[in-house]
Amino acid sequence: MALHPRAASVPAGTPTKITQGSQTRGGIGESTLRPDGTLKVTGEFAYSSDMWHEDMLWGHTLRSTVAHAEIRSIDIGEALATPGVYAVLTYDDLPAEMKNYGLEIQDTPVLAHGKVRHHGEPVALVAADHPETARRAAAKIRIDYAELPLVTDEESATAPDAILVHEGRTDHHIGHVPHPNIVHRQPIVRGDADAAAARADVIVTGDYVFGMQDQAFLGPESGLAVPSEDGGVELYVATQWLHSDLRQIAPVLGLPEDKVRMTLSGVGGAFGGREDLSMQIHACLLALRTGKPVKMVYNRFESFFGHVHRHPAKLHYEHGATKDGKLTHMKCRIVLDGGAYASASPAVVGNASSLAVGPYVVEDVDIEAIALYSNNPPCGAMRGFGAVQACFAYEAQMDKLAAALDMDPVELRQLNAMEQGTLLPTGQPVDSPAPVAELLRRVKARPLPPEQQWLSADAEGSSVDVRALPGGLSNTTHGEGVVRGVGYAVGLKNVGFSEGFDDYSTARVRMEVINGEPVATVHTAMAEVGQGGVTVHAQIARTELGVNQVTIHPADTQVGSAGSTSASRQTYVTGGAVKNSCEAVREQVLEIGRRKFGTYHPAWATAELLLEGGKVVTDGGEVLAPLADVLEGEAVDVELEWRHRPTEAFDLRTGQGNGHVQYSFAAHRAVVEVDTELGLVKVIELACAQDVGKALNPLSVVGQIQGGTTQGLGVAVMEEIIVDPKTAKVRNPSFTDYLIPTILDTPTIPVDVLELADDHAPYGLRGIGEAPTLSSTPAVLAAIRNATGLELNRTPVRPEHITGT
Amino acid sequence: MDFLRPASWEEALAAKAEHPTAVPIAGGTDVMVEINFDHRRPEYLMDLNRIGELSEWQVGPDAVRLGASVPYSAVMEHLRAELPGLALASHTVASPQIRNRGGVGGNLGTASPAGDAHPALLAAGAEVEAASVRGTRMIPIDDFYTGVKRNALAPDELIRAVHIKKADGPQQYSKVGTRNAMVIAVCAFGLALHPETRTVRTGIGSAAPTPVRAREAEEFLNAALEEGGFWESGKIITPSVAKQFAQLAAGACNPIDDVRGTAAYRRHAVGIMARRTLGWTWEQYRGAGRTLEGAA
C-alpha cells in the first residue's frame, strides 16, 4: 500500500477541525477565523510544493525554446544515459489513444507532437533521483527545430496566406468562425445601433489595448503522483477543480477515472491560473512509467510558462448619447488573443461580448468579440474573465463621453445606470437588485484624502515622507511635478458558469456524536485556493445544524464534483450544496428524534423544529432534546448534488439568450498622485463599494474586495507579460521584471459593503471575488488621465506613456 | 561544484590564487539568483562568511573603510551621517531581507550597471581595496567599472573593503523603478556636493554599459558655481544653470531599450533626477533643507 505523502506540518489528507467556543455560534454572518490563516502567516502551512514521499523521484519538463516550429527530431539518448535518470518521455511514450487535453476543446498536446506552437511548450519529461539531475539531463535532450512563420495578432492570423495554428479543426466552434485561426466568435445584436446613432448628439470612439496579465499566484505549480498497486495512481495536487482535472487526466493515462484518485494539496493562490492542467498528467506518466512516486515543482521562471494568462485585448468602442446624456447606442469589437491553445477562450469571448456594455442601459447595441489562435502564450481564465478587458474600455468611454457632453462623469454613469429589471444586450432581464447608481454615490460621497500627505510640519520645519509620494523609497520626488488625479469606474460581472453549462456542486454532510458531542463533517471536492471556502462551509453547517464542532474533510475525488473555484461561484454553488445537504441531514435527524422521542412531547409532531446550540428546539424556543441524545448510536450521512437555475447558450448569430446566473457589481474611486515629469504613479486611495447580497463572513468579504482591487491596480500601473512581437517569446518571466504591487504600492482601500439580497441565491448572497478586479483598473486609469490630461488608451500605463518618451 | 570555506582572509586569498575561477559569495543575493537561473555554474564557490572582518567598518578621519560584506541595512542604520548618499541608495535596494544579506562588495563584484550602490560611490568618491597573495592595491572607483558586468579585478583578487570619502556636504540619490519599492533600477542618479573642494560629483546607474559619472555636467556646474560665487553666497542656483546641468547629465547616458524601459525615457529621467537632486542638495547646503522621513 502506498504511503501517504508527508509534509512539513499539516499534510494533504489531514482533516481540518474548526471548533468555536460555546459563546460564539460561528454561523453565517460572523467573521469566524479561517483555519489556514495562522498557519499561512507563520509559514507553517504545507503547500503542495512541500510534499515528500519516501523513495520519490523528481520530474522535470523540457520546454520549447522557440514559439512556432516543426520538430524534426528529438534525441534523448544522452539524457537517458545520465546516472540518476529513471525515465525520459516524449510524445511517442504516451500510453493511450487520447494524447491531448483541454478544458473545452481537447487541442493541447500532453507533449508536443511534430510541432510546437508557443514558447515554453512541454516537449519531453525527465524523472531523476534529484531535481538538478533531472534538469541537467533535460538539457542534454537534443531537439531539431525548423522554425515556422508566426501568428502574433489579428492581422497575421487572418491574412489570406496565414499559416494555421491548428490544422484540421473539428471542434464545435469551427462551423461559425470566419477563419480557422479564430477560436470562437460571438456577436450580440439588439435593436438597431446604426439607426440609433442618428439620434445621437454626441458620438465618441476609442481604441483600447489591454496588456497580458499574469495570475502571479505565489505557490508555483506542484504535486506528487504515487503509483498504486491496482495499476492506478494517486495524485496530490494544487488545482482549482479536481474533477475537471480528473476528466482530462484519466483518458490520457488510459485509466478509468476511479483509478486516478486525486486529493487537493495546499494551494498557494490560483486566480484562474490553475483551471488548466500543468504538471498533473506529466507527473502521473512518470510515476506510472517508473513505478515510483514522482514530485514536480515548477520554479518561478517555469511557472510563467506553466499556466495560461489573462487574454490581452484590443477593443474598439463607439458610444453615442443625446445632449442630456442618455446613451443612444453602443458598438464595439473586442479582439482577444487566446494564444496557441483554446483553454477557456470560448467562455472568455462569451463574457466579454455579453458584458461589453457594462452596467448601463443601452437599447441598441452591436457587439462582436473574437478570440484568436496565435503563437503567443496560451491565455485563459483569470479573475474577471473577459469582463475585465471590456470594463477597462467602456469605462474609459464613459469618461470620454462625459467630457464631450461637459457632464460630471459620475452623473453620466448614474443617469444611464442599470437597475433591477433592465435587459442586458442578450435580452436577459436583471432579476435581482442592481444598485449601480447607489454604489457610485457611495464612493463619490467619501471625503477625499488630504492633499500633500507627504508633508508634515514639526518643530524643526517641514519634512517629507517619500513613502507617500510616487517613487516611494526610490526618492525621486519631494513633491516636484506631482499632480493629483481622481477617477471613477463601475463594473458588471457574471457569477457562476454561464451559457447553459451544468454548473452543479456536490456536498456530503455527516452528522454523528463523538465523545458525547454532536459533530458535523462536511466533505466536498471544492478547491480551497485561499478564498476562504472552508471557513464558510463550517459556518453554513453550524447555522443549519446547530452544532459547534464542524470537521472539514480534505477535498478529494471520493466525493462528487464541486465545480471550479472560479467565476466567483464557490460560496454560491458549493455553499448552496452544503446548505442543501445540511437541510437534508436536518430532516433525517428530526425523523430520528421523532422516532425516538416523539411520544414524549407533542411538539415533535406539531411544531416547526430547528437545530440550535446542540439541541432540537421548537420555533418557539422550547428545547425538545439534545442532539447528542437524538444521534446516540446513529449517524446521518447525505451526499447530494445541487444546482442553481439553469442558463441558456447565446444565439450564435444574435447573442440572445438567458446566459447568466447572477451578477456582481462594484464601483471604485481612485485617488492618485502622478509625478508628471517622471511618469511615476502612487495610488493613494482606492475606495470601493460593492453589493455582496449577504456577507457570510464579513472579514473575508472585505479581504476579497481588497485583494481584487489590488490585482486590478497591478494591471493598471505595472503588471504585464511582455511578448516580443518578432519572436513571440516571453521577455520577462520572473518576478524581477514581472512586477506585482508591494505594500508601498497598495493604497488605503476603504470598503463599503451593501447587502441587497438576491432572492434566487442561498442566503441571498452574491459571488464577490471578481467584481472589484474589474472597476479598479479603469478607476486608476481615469485618475491618471485626470491628473495628466493624457488620453492613455492602454493598460498598464508605463512611465514612457506619461512622459511621451 | 566545489564549495570553499576559508576560515581567514589569508586562506581566502590563497584559495583564490589556487582557483582563480572561484566565485566569492557572501550575502548571495546576486550569485544565488544567477545559480538558480542556471546562468552560471561556477567550478568553485568561495564562502566568505567565516571571515568576520568583512562585515566590519571603520570610520577614519577622511573616509569610511567599509568591509565588503557589510550589509546595506547596517549602512542605513549606522552610517547615515558619514555616507548619506550610500545610505539613501541602500534604502532602494530590494527588500529588508535582501538588505540584511547583501552588501556593497557584492555590488562591486557583480559590477552590473543596475547595481544600486554604484552612483552613490561615484558621487562620493571611493577606492576599492583589492587584495591577492601578491599584495593589496587601491583601485579608484572611476577606474573600477570596465564593461558590462566587468570590473578591474585581476582573476586572483578579492574585494576586501571599499574606502568611501566621508561626506563633506549634502548628498542625494534617486532611482527610477516602475514600482514604489523592491525594484531594479530603470535608471538612477547620485549627486554629492563637496564644499571642501568646491566640486560636485555625480553617478549614473543603468543608463550606460557601466556606471558612469556625468563628467561634462560636473565640469559645467563646477565652473558655473565658481564663477557665480555660489559656494560663498549660498544663493539659489539659477534655473538656467540647473537646466543645463540636467541636459548634460542626460547627455552622459548611453542607454538601451530593454524590458524595463526605453533609452529615451532613461535619458529623460536622468535629466529630471539630476535637476531635482541638485536642487535638494543645494537647498540643504544653503541651510534650508528639509529632512526626509522614511528615506534616510
CATH number of the domain within which A637 lies: 3.30.365.10
Give the whole-angstrom CA distance, residue A332 versus residue A316.
5
Residue B294: pLDDT band (50, 70, 90) is: very low
Q: Phi and psi (nearest 5°) for A637?
A: -140, 120
At residue A6, the pLDDT reads 43
Q: Do B181 and A476 touch (CB under 8 A)?
A: no
Domain annotation covers residue A485 = no
At residue A457, the pLDDT reads 75
* Cell representation of residue A17: 477541525
Domain annotation covers residue A713 = no
Q: Which residues of B touch A460 (CB under 8 A)?
A: 291
* Cell representation of residue A82: 545520465
CA–CA distance from B212 to each of A150, A275, B114 (Å)?
Answer: 40, 48, 11
Q: Which helix (H) or strand (E) element contains residue A690?
A: strand A680-691
Domain annotation covers residue A376 = no
In chain B, where are the structural domains located? 2-47+56-165, 171-285
* Cell representation of residue A93: 511514450
Give the whole-angstrom CA distance, residue B115 versus residue A771.
40
Residue-wise pLDDT tens digits, B230-252: 999 999 999 999 999 999 999 99
At residue B133, the pLDDT reads 98
CA–CA distance from A573 to each of A351, A440, A507, A578 (Å)?
Answer: 19, 28, 10, 9
Order the strands of the A751-754 sheet from edge to edge. Answer: A482-495, A662-675, A680-691, A751-754
Q: Do B178 and A717 touch (CB under 8 A)?
A: yes
At residue B288, the pLDDT reads 55
**Amino acid, res. A612:** E
At residue A157, the pLDDT reads 98
The maximal CA–CA distance of chain A, rounded, in angstroms, is 86
DSSP secondary structure string, B69-103?
Answer: T-BHHHHHHH-TTT-HHHHHHHHTSS-HHHHHH-B
Structural domain count of chain A: 2
Last residue of a domain, one of A583, A617, A642: A642
Cis peptide before A796 (omega within 30 of 0): yes
Q: Do B179 and A718 touch (CB under 8 A)?
A: yes
Last residue of a domain, one of A286, A306, A326: A306
The pLDDT of A11-25, averaged and rounded, is 48
> Would you say residue A7 has pLDDT above 60?
no
At residue A304, the pLDDT reads 98
The pLDDT > 90 percentage for chain B reads 94
Residue-wise pLDDT tens digits, A598-638: 999 999 998 899 999 999 999 988 999 999 999 999 999 99
Q: Do A471 and B37 touch (CB under 8 A)?
A: no
Domain annotation covers residue A708 = no
User: Is-contact A507 A639, C-beta < 8 A?
Assistant: yes
Domain annotation covers residue A544 = yes
Residue B293: pLDDT band (50, 70, 90) is: very low
Domain annotation covers residue A573 = yes
The pLDDT of A406-435, averaged and rounded, is 98
Question: What CATH number is attached to the domain comprising A94?
Answer: 3.90.1170.50
The pLDDT of A133-139, averaged and rounded, is 97
The pLDDT of A526-555, averaged and rounded, is 97
More confident site: A22 or A424: A424
Residue-wise pLDDT tens digits, A762-785: 999 999 999 999 999 999 999 999
At residue A456, the pLDDT reads 84
User: Is-contact A559 A639, C-beta < 8 A?
Assistant: yes
Residue to test with chain B: of A300, A475, A678, most B Cβ within 10 A:
A475
Q: Do B259 and A737 touch (CB under 8 A)?
A: yes
CA nearest B97: which of B41, B181, B205?
A: B181
Q: Do A739 and B261 touch (CB under 8 A)?
A: no
Residue B10: pLDDT band (50, 70, 90) is: very high
The pLDDT of A708-734, averaged and rounded, is 98
CA–CA distance from A186 to each of A87, A151, A363, A430, B218 (Å)?
Answer: 45, 21, 18, 21, 62
User: Is-contact A60 A296, C-beta < 8 A?
Assistant: yes
Eight-class DSSP state of A140: T
DSSP secondary structure string, B236-259?
Answer: PPPHHHHHHHHHHHHHT-----BT
Q: Do A472 and B259 touch (CB under 8 A)?
A: no
Give the whole-angstrom CA distance, residue B49 versus residue B129.
18
At residue A459, the pLDDT reads 60
At residue A460, the pLDDT reads 63
Residues 6+ apart with CB under 8 A from A209: A312, A313, A314, A315, A793, A794, A795
The pLDDT of B17-22, averaged and rounded, is 98
Q: How many CA atoms lie within 13 A of A40 on its CB side?
A: 15
CA–CA distance from A60 to each of A63, A263, A265, A302, A378 (Å)?
Answer: 10, 21, 20, 10, 20
Give the whole-angstrom CA distance, residue A249 versus residue A517.
41
What average pLDDT does chain A have? 95
Domain annotation covers residue A779 = no
| Residue whose grid cell is 558655473 | B224
Q: Phi and psi (nearest 5°) for A792?
A: 45, 75
At residue A411, the pLDDT reads 98
> Would you say residue B76 has pLDDT above 60?
yes
Domain annotation covers residue A138 = yes
User: Is-contact B224 B218, C-beta < 8 A?
Assistant: no
Residues 6+ apart with CB under 8 A from A365: A188, A189, A190, A191, A193, A329, A330, A331, A356, A357, A425
At residue B37, the pLDDT reads 84
Eight-class DSSP state of A598: G
B267 to chain A: nearest residue by CA? A805
Eight-class DSSP state of A273: T
Q: Do B36 and A472 touch (CB under 8 A)?
A: no
Q: Do B262 and A805 touch (CB under 8 A)?
A: yes
B203 pairs with which residues across the strands? B190
Residue-wise pLDDT tens digits, A285-323: 999 999 999 999 999 999 999 999 999 999 999 999 999
Q: Residue A803: which of B88, B265, B273 has the nearest Cβ?
A: B265
> How far apart are the CA of A517 and the nearest CA of chain B, in angstroms?
47
Contacts 24+ apart (CB under 8 A), A651-655: A652/A176, A652/A186, A652/A187, A653/A187, A653/A189, A654/A187, A654/A188, A654/A189, A654/A190, A655/A186, A655/A187, A655/A188, A655/A189, A655/A190, A655/A353, A655/A354, A655/A367, A655/A425, A655/A426
> How far apart are the CA of A680 and the nearest CA of chain B, in angstroms?
7
SS3 of A182, please?
strand
> Would you say residue A1 has pLDDT above 50?
no
* Cell representation of residue A424: 442586458
User: Is-contact A695 A29, C-beta < 8 A?
Assistant: yes
**Amino acid, res. A328:** T
Which residue range is the domain that position A82 belongs to?
50-148+220-267+274-306
At residue A461, the pLDDT reads 64
**Amino acid, res. A548:** N
Q: Do B290 and A478 touch (CB under 8 A)?
A: yes
Give the whole-angstrom CA distance, residue A500 versus residue A792.
38
The pLDDT of A218-226, averaged and rounded, is 97
At residue A16, the pLDDT reads 53
The CATH architecture to which B171-285 belongs is 2-Layer Sandwich (3.30)
Q: Phi and psi (nearest 5°) for A776?
A: -60, -50
Residue to test with chain A: of B41, B90, B93, B178, most A Cβ within 10 A:
B178
Eight-class DSSP state of A212: B
Number of H helices, E strands in chain B: 11, 14
> Would you say residue B217 has pLDDT above 90?
yes
> What CATH class is the domain B2-47+56-165?
alpha beta
> How far apart are the CA of B168 and the nearest CA of chain A, in angstroms?
21
DSSP secondary structure string, A612-664?
Answer: ETTEEEETT--EEEEHHHHTTT-EEEEEEEE------PPPTTT--S---SEEE
The pLDDT of A64-70, averaged and rounded, is 98
> Would you say residue A585 has pLDDT above 90?
yes
Q: What is the value of ipTM here, to two decimals?
A: 0.96
> How far apart are the CA of B175 and the nearest CA of chain A, in angstroms?
5
Residue-wise pLDDT tens digits, A81-133: 999 999 999 999 999 999 999 999 999 999 999 999 999 999 999 999 999 99
Q: Residue A473: which of B181, B260, B290 has the nearest Cβ?
A: B181
CB atoms within 10 A of CB B100: 14
At residue A672, the pLDDT reads 98
What average pLDDT does chain B have? 95
The pLDDT of A240-258, averaged and rounded, is 98
At residue A23, the pLDDT reads 40
At residue A315, the pLDDT reads 98
At residue A25, the pLDDT reads 81
> Would you say residue A462 has pLDDT above 90?
no
With 0-12 CB in 10 A as exposed, 13-18 as middle and 19+ as buried, what is B81?
Answer: exposed
> How far apart are the CA of B295 and the nearest CA of chain A, in angstroms?
6
Strands (E), B95-186: 126-132, 135-140, 145-147, 150-151, 158-165, 171-176
